[in-house]
Amino acid sequence: MSMNMRDMEQLFKKMGGVAKYRAPNSGAKALVLLSGGMDSAVTLYFAKTLGWDVAHALTFNYGQSHTKETEAAAEIAELADVPLTVLNIASITSVLTRGESALTDHSIDIPETAEAPTQIPPTYVPLRNPLLLTLAGQFAFREDIKGIFIGANAVDYSGYPDCRPEFMHAFDVMINLAVADTGKSFYVVAPIIDITKGEIVKLGQSLNVPWDLTWSCYRGGEEPCGECASCELRAKGFAEAGVKDTALPIKDDPLNIVSTEKAPQTTPTLSSADADPNKEDVDID
């Protein structure tokens, strides 16, 4: 199942129009923070259709308990033909966030439900996004990259404060102040911040995002655990979109689509992954 043009128009309207995500000029370079999860993969594929020259992807090892995410990021970047740099900041974050996050302090339990958290969940890594975006900014400064894309989402996510639009706007202002008078400036772009997980899946499906390469599970097992908050949110998104999650083992496919129809290999309505990034084929503003 994929999105028809009408669905797409509605989604872009909800996103405040596509114009604000576009490259400011042809050939403008962008980097994408690529965690290996579905949101950052969709963000990478989306950036490619918006006139940006996606020149680089950055993945951070900040002390996660497993390497599945960084392995996934490497595979996604390779398929998308985008050079990837993995930055290892685990020695810093493991000290500075000790006792504060279930993702970096493995003595803290990973929560098993994604049900509307009433408080900031234990998987929150304090100030992770400002840290990663600042490092991305340093990289972008050196490489003459203007666009810094991040797949943060504030709707169907765990309620991390540094994934909210207010933070992204403030960071965009802050990072530009931090490089004022150097001749450099940046666009901090979080295109999927305001849409639901189901809408992210629909968007990604239309862009032919390789779901099977993405990794969302907080745990580092052979296969996604299907029980952690991240797995739950992901399943909810695919169910809402009516799309089969090709990262799941067939037995766990909640929609049981695999046995009745071929894996959705739809004609992208936006652009194919390897289309000319300068081609203007998203014309909904």
Binding residues for Zn ion (CB under 5 A) = 217, 225, 228, 231
User: From the CB of 217, what's the least distance to Zn ion, in Å?
Assistant: 3
Smaller CB distance to Zn ion: residue 87 or 225? 225
Sequence letter at residue 23: A
Smaller CB distance to Zn ion: residue 234 or 244? 234
Smaller CB distance to Zn ion: residue 29 or 66? 66
User: From the CB of 150, what's the least distance to Zn ion, in Å?
Assistant: 22
Smaller CB distance to Zn ion: residue 175 or 228? 228
Smaller CB distance to Zn ion: residue 160 or 215? 215
User: From the CB of 41, what's the least distance to Zn ion, in Å?
Assistant: 17
What is d(CA 277, CA 285) in angstroms, rounded to the nearest whole number?
Answer: 18
Cβ atoms of 162 and 153 closer than 8 Å: no
User: From the CB of 170, what's the least distance to Zn ion, in Å?
Assistant: 31
What is d(CA 74, CA 100) in angstroms, rounded to the nearest whole number?
Answer: 28
User: From the CB of 244, what's the least distance to Zn ion, in Å?
Assistant: 18
Separation in Å, CA 257 to CA 57, 168, 183, 197, 227: 32, 37, 52, 19, 21
What is d(CA 204, CA 38) in angstroms, rounded to the nearest whole number?
Answer: 8
Smaller CB distance to Zn ion: residue 37 or 268? 37
The H or E element spanning position 62 is none
User: From the CB of 232, what's the least distance to Zn ion, in Å?
Assistant: 8
Report the chain's terminal Cα–Cα distance, integer Å. 24
Cβ atoms of 271 and 207 closer than 8 Å: yes
Beta bridge pairs of residue 88: 61
Cβ atoms of 197 and 237 closer than 8 Å: yes
